[in-house]
Chains A and B, each alone.
Chain A
Amino acid sequence: MANGNGKTGLLERVRERTSEAVDRLRGSQFVESVLRPGSPFKKGYADSPRNRSYVIMNNVLYHLHPVKVKRHGVKLSYTLCLGGLSFFLFILLTITGIFLMFYYAPTAERAYADIQALSTNVAFGSLVRNMHRWGAHLMVLTVFLHMSRVFYHGAYKPPREFNWVVGVVLLLLTLLLSFTGYLLPWDQLALWAVTVGTNMAGFVPVFGDQVKFALLAGVEVTAGTLLRWYVLHVLFLPFIIVIFMAVHFWRVRKDGGISGPL
């Protein structure tokens, strides 16, 4: 844009330079090597049906999504995105959980003080702890609602019966993850909620006492329980749930994508 006396405006020049620099960057060997053919971030990407397919097909996303999906499945009103949101919350919980692990030791002496210190000594400690806790509650909720959505759509009917079974295991694992995390702050709430919860396990016929003993690493909630539940919470259960999620997502695809339309 010429501004009367033949000079281009400063803004104009900055914009020009920036777009040149961006072009050079996008054309560089490094960026070229990172982005696979068809990436919408690639230089000269043009929107075409073929390229739309490539975006998925040439991308790590191909592990999660097919190139095309049923039209009705895209409507928010069909899945309400509940399965996807459960998965997303799981990822958020993993990220915030790793953050918390830096500041937490699962010992009876330190656990409670470490959680307290999150709100006083750690930058964003309180926010991240809250996100982890509320995120966990939300995940239980979204998984439960996802199950209800699947039920009301009759989406567990052939060929999806087995994925429903996998889903029930996922629900159980989600509850266990949430429950094992409940103990870790090592406050009165944690201690007694877990005491009440594991007392129920004591009513299992025949093996009640053994089950309770295995859960608590003793006859009541102790420091041993804390360590046991910590390992279950940060390592064992996430590991198992990731495997079941992988199977779950795989089966969604192999069972013919999203069910329906009704």
Chain B
Amino acid sequence: MTEIPESLLRRSAEAKAKALGVPVEQVLAEMKGEAPPSTPPAATEPEPATEEPTPSAETAAEGGAPAGGGGSDDIDALLEKAAAVAGMPQALLRRSAEAKAKALGVPLVNVLAEMAGEAPPAAAEVAPETPGEAAPQPAEAPAAVAVEEPSVPAPTGNGGGKVAAVVSPRPTMPPAGVPEGVRTQRLLTVVKAKAIQQVKAEPHDKVNTWPHLMLVEFVALLAMTGLLIVMSVALQAPLLEAANPNLTPNPSKAPWYFLGLQELLSYFDPQIAGVTVPTVVGLIGFMMIPYVDRNPSTKPSDRKLAIMLYTIFLAGSATLTILGVLFRGKGFNFSYPWKDGIFFDDLKDWVSFE
């Protein structure tokens, strides 16, 4: 038996006892594997776990000929009746009856008779599969799976095997002790909760995404749209003369996000500034940050070095970019924007020092 918290077990036992109309103690004993199943008629106990026999070698041997026994006239008549009861096509019913007969190792007629409501359930007397049986290893966190079952007359799955719910032809009367129309919870089976994901639920202060987060996002989105439209109305994107490969503008500058690199190029060898810095430092170095910084803390006071280094990087790239954008004039020589003007076309319309 898997380890289920006592309270959970008790609740499901109570529900089951109520549904079956048997004392709770009996159900509990049964669950603990100390007593035979309290299943009254199997029809009211359609849970696959208790009804479906363990397909042991013996039963398989016994039930080798599922269609055996009973004349074919018999079968046809029963089939017709069962189909009428279940309200389903004969062919389908036959297939499910055969499957059930094979699974239980009983003759087909018996199954059909049962389906037609003429015989007691054909369930072979096999000890119910205890839920934990299939999983001998200790379960870390078992979970109870309950199904909601209407206790009003409704077809209850007793087809057994794979076709369980579909084939149940016999309407079951509400179990004793349950008032008409009351829905009961039944413990269908106990499965081992073997999570596919690691569930480490830590208590967190959470709020609903709607409306709290969505609202913030919506406002941010509107603000950004507004900013972009205002910018685009006020500032014309540059368009110079048509491209002319024979006429090199002086200076030629890269887009601003590469200007820091271009600035570096004027100090260092191109192998360093043009290749090593962007790929090794920029790309690979940045990707490696989480693997190099092994300090687990996220508290700023514990990360002084990391914060300092990143801030130096930020300040450095900002300085280089601003230098490249504003302080480089003809021939990429140093110049003062307020004296010599701005040599950066994206900015021409934005700032002027007239």
A43-80 residues at the B interface, CB under 8 angstroms:
49, 52-53, 55-56, 61, 65-74, 76
B236-277 residues at the A interface, CB under 8 angstroms:
236-245, 247-249, 252-258, 261-262, 265, 270-271, 274-275
Q: What is the minimal beta-carbon distance from B62 to any residue of chain A, in angstroms?
A: 50
Select which of B209, B228, B262 is within 8 A of A92 by beta carbon: B228
Residues in B whose Cβ lies below 8 Å from that of A161: 290-291
Whether A89 lies near B298 (C-beta < 8 A) is: no
Q: What is the minimal beta-carbon distance from A120 to any residue of chain B, in angstroms?
A: 12
Whether B289 lies near A196 (C-beta < 8 A) is: no
Residues in A whose Cβ lies below 8 Å from that of B124: none
Q: A74-B213, A262-B298 are in contact. Are A188 and B208 (CB under 8 A)?
A: no
Whether A81 lies near B216 (C-beta < 8 A) is: yes
Whether A151 lies near B261 (C-beta < 8 A) is: no
Whether A187 lies near B241 (C-beta < 8 A) is: yes
Whether B210 lies near A165 (C-beta < 8 A) is: no
Select which of A131, A140, A188 is within 8 A of B228 by beta carbon: A131
The yes or no answer to A240 lying at the interface (CB within 8 A) is no
Select which of A56, A135, A196 is within 8 A of B262 by beta carbon: A196
The yes or no answer to B211 lying at the interface (CB within 8 A) is yes
The yes or no answer to B307 lying at the interface (CB within 8 A) is yes
Residues in B whose Cβ lies below 8 Å from that of A137: 256, 346
A191-232 residues at the B interface, CB under 8 angstroms:
191-193, 195-197, 199-201, 203-205, 220-221
Q: What is the minimal beta-carbon distance from A254 to any residue of chain B, in angstroms?
A: 8
A196 to B262, CA, bound (A): 8
A182 to B286, CA, bound (A): 25
Whether B216 lies near A193 (C-beta < 8 A) is: no
Q: What is the minimal beta-carbon distance from B249 to any residue of chain A, in angstroms?
A: 5
A260 to B206, CA, bound (A): 12
A130 to B254, CA, bound (A): 19
Q: What is the minimal beta-carbon distance from A125 to any residue of chain B, in angstroms?
A: 11
Whether A197 lies near B254 (C-beta < 8 A) is: yes
Q: A148-B310, A148-B314, A192-B248 are in contact. Are A187 and B242 (CB under 8 A)?
A: yes
A130 to B245, CA, bound (A): 25
Whether A157 lies near B270 (C-beta < 8 A) is: no
Whether B217 lies near A84 (C-beta < 8 A) is: yes
Whether B228 lies near A192 (C-beta < 8 A) is: no
Q: Which of A9-17, A172-180, A243-251 contacts B (4 or more CB under 8 A)?
A: A172-180
Q: What is the minimal beta-carbon distance from A139 to any residue of chain B, in angstroms?
A: 10
Beta-carbon nearest neighbor of A200 in chain B:
B274
Q: What is the minimal beta-carbon distance from B211 to any residue of chain A, in angstroms?
A: 7
Residues in B whose Cβ lies below 8 Å from that of A70: 204-207
A92 to B283, CA, bound (A): 27
Residues in B whose Cβ lies below 8 Å from that of A154: 297-298, 303, 306
Instruction: Tell me the dominant secondary structure on chain A's binding face.
Output: helix
Q: A127-B232, A131-B229, A189-B345 are in contact. Are A203 and B270 (CB under 8 A)?
A: yes
The yes or no answer to B287 lying at the interface (CB within 8 A) is yes
Whether B244 lies near A89 (C-beta < 8 A) is: no
The yes or no answer to B136 lying at the interface (CB within 8 A) is no
Q: Which of B17-25, B28-36, B219-227 contacts A (4 or more CB under 8 A)?
A: B219-227
A189 to B225, CA, bound (A): 27
A74 to B270, CA, bound (A): 45
Closest 9 CB pairs of A and B: A130-B232, A161-B290, A154-B298, A200-B274, A192-B252, A191-B243, A55-B210, A203-B274, A133-B237
Mind listing 23 A-B residue pairs with CB under 8 Å?
A49-B208, A67-B209, A68-B209, A70-B206, A92-B225, A126-B236, A127-B229, A127-B233, A129-B237, A130-B231, A134-B231, A138-B227, A154-B306, A161-B291, A175-B257, A182-B255, A185-B239, A188-B243, A189-B238, A189-B249, A189-B345, A191-B244, A259-B298
Residues of A within 8 A of B (CB): 40, 49, 52-53, 55-56, 61, 65-74, 76, 81, 84-85, 88-89, 92, 108, 112, 115-116, 126-127, 129-131, 133-135, 137-138, 140, 144, 148, 151-158, 160-162, 164-165, 168, 171-172, 175, 178-179, 182, 185-193, 195-197, 199-201, 203-205, 220-221, 259-260, 262
Told that A56-B208, A88-B221, A165-B290 touch, could you supply 16 new A-B pairs with CB distance under 8 A? A52-B211, A61-B209, A85-B221, A89-B228, A131-B228, A134-B228, A137-B256, A138-B228, A156-B289, A157-B296, A160-B290, A168-B286, A172-B283, A193-B255, A197-B258, A205-B275
